[in-house]
Amino acid sequence: MNTPIAIIGSGMAGLSAAHALTAAGLCVQLFDKSRGSGGRMASKRSEVGDLDLGAQYFTARDRHFVDIVQQWQENGWLAEWKPALYQSHGGQLSLSPDTQLRFIGVPRMSALTRNLLGELPATFACRITEVFRGEQHWHLVDATGQSHGPFSKVIVAVPAPQAAALLSAAPKLAASVASVAMEPVWAVALGFDKALDTPVEGCFVQDSPLDWLARNRSKPGRASRPDTWVLHATSAWSRQHIDLAPEAVIEQLRCAFAELIGCAVPEADFSLAHRWLYARPAHAHQWSALADADLGLYVCGDWCLSGRVEGAWLSGQEAARRLLEHREHNS
């Protein structure tokens, strides 16, 4: 019997591992606490259209990732995003063009992970709280107390602080994962019925509560009206204001935006705030993936590498590769 492999987390890392394993003929079962796949590549549906509140775009530098990105682009799941890019230093806004290729899911970021999910077996709205090994197989328990299994192996593909809690079967692994700190990010979306009078479409920001801002309508496939923007606070500001009420976060970041954008910014006609508790690792690692292969427990995620979409995909590939390698040695 081909006992399935459980994958906890259906963000880019979990989906990447799932694809590699199914391509090798194995069965997988994905679990995610959210209602859909994508994790930090999620897009929020709202009355003003879809808003990419997490990952804004991604780049591809590793040659394997470059190849897969090309395939996704050929499938029509991705488009290149060529914004009018600016930077802001000490309140000075200046054009900052470059030749970097940047990709986005179309018509929303989450479309990419939704396409990657395809027909893979997945259970959503299912927060896994315990991962334990019986005599022969692994079992999972969710927040409602329901148990799932049996599974031949388990891949944990969630942010490090959430992964550590699921690794009590492998204390050494749990300790390494628990040592990884992840930083929060407040994201705010603003919508203006009358478009702002600025050529800015994306901006890297320094010396401000903001770290980044993007204009949605500059992204292929997005609605052009109203004029919606996504603002990301720095991790330092987000940490300091972690418990601030969303309305206060919106107001403070709207003011920071108005200060740097160089045109009149009226009250927003639409606004929302989203707090990412585990947005990015505090430091990059070079782990690729972690494992207790003899036990059959694997851990992957962006935080094992660069804290970027590319890192998440590479980490999922590596977890799958190590699982397949171990399986081959022991067959």
Ligand X SMILES: Cc1cc2nc3c(=O)[nH]c(=O)nc-3n(C[C@H](O)[C@H](O)[C@H](O)COP(=O)(O)OP(=O)(O)OC[C@H]3O[C@@H](n4cnc5c(N)ncnc54)[C@H](O)[C@@H]3O)c2cc1C
For position 55 contacting ligand X by CB under 6 A, the verdict is yes
CA dist 202 and 213 (Å) reads 6
Nearest to residue 72, comparing CAs of 302, 300, 310, 305?
A: 310
Concatenated DSSP letters of 149-185: EEESEEEE-S-HHHHHTT-TTSHHHHHHHHT--EEEE
Q: Which is nearer to ligand 6V0, 65 or 151 (CB)?
A: 65
Choice between 244 and 295, CB closer to ligand 6V0:
244
Among 74, 98, 294, 328, binds ligand 6V0 (CB under 6 A): 98
Residue 281 binding: pick among ligand 6V0, ligand X, none (C-beta 5-8 Å cut-off by kind): none
For residue 105, state whether it binds ligand X (rule: CB under 6 A): no
Amino acid at 182: M
Number of other residues whose CB lies within 10 A of the CB of residue 26: 19
- Interface residues for ligand X in 177-216 (CB under 6 A)? 185, 187
Q: Say whether residue 218 binds ligand 6V0 (CB under 6 A).
A: no
- 13 marked as binding residue: yes
Contact at 8 Å (CB) between 278 and 258? Answer: no
For residue 171, report the phi and psi dihedrals to the nearest 5 degrees.
Answer: -55, -35
Q: Are 62 and 310 in contact (CB under 8 A)?
A: yes
Residue 84: burial class (beta carbons within 10 Å; 0-12, 13-18, 19+): middle
Query: Quick one: which of 7, 8, 78, 106 contacts ligand X (CB under 6 A)?
Result: 8
Q: Report the site for ligand X in 152-171 (rule: CB under 6 A).
A: 157-159, 162
Residue 149 interacts with ligand X (CB under 6 A): yes or no:
no
**Between 91 and 220, CB nearer to ligand X:** 220
Which residues sit in the known binding site for FAD? 13, 32-33, 40, 56-57, 128, 302, 309
Residue ranges for the known binding site for substrate are: 57-61, 96-98, 308
Name the site residues for ligand X (rule: CB under 6 A).
8-14, 31-34, 39-41, 54-58, 127-128, 157-159, 162, 185, 187, 232, 276, 279-280, 301-302, 307-309, 312
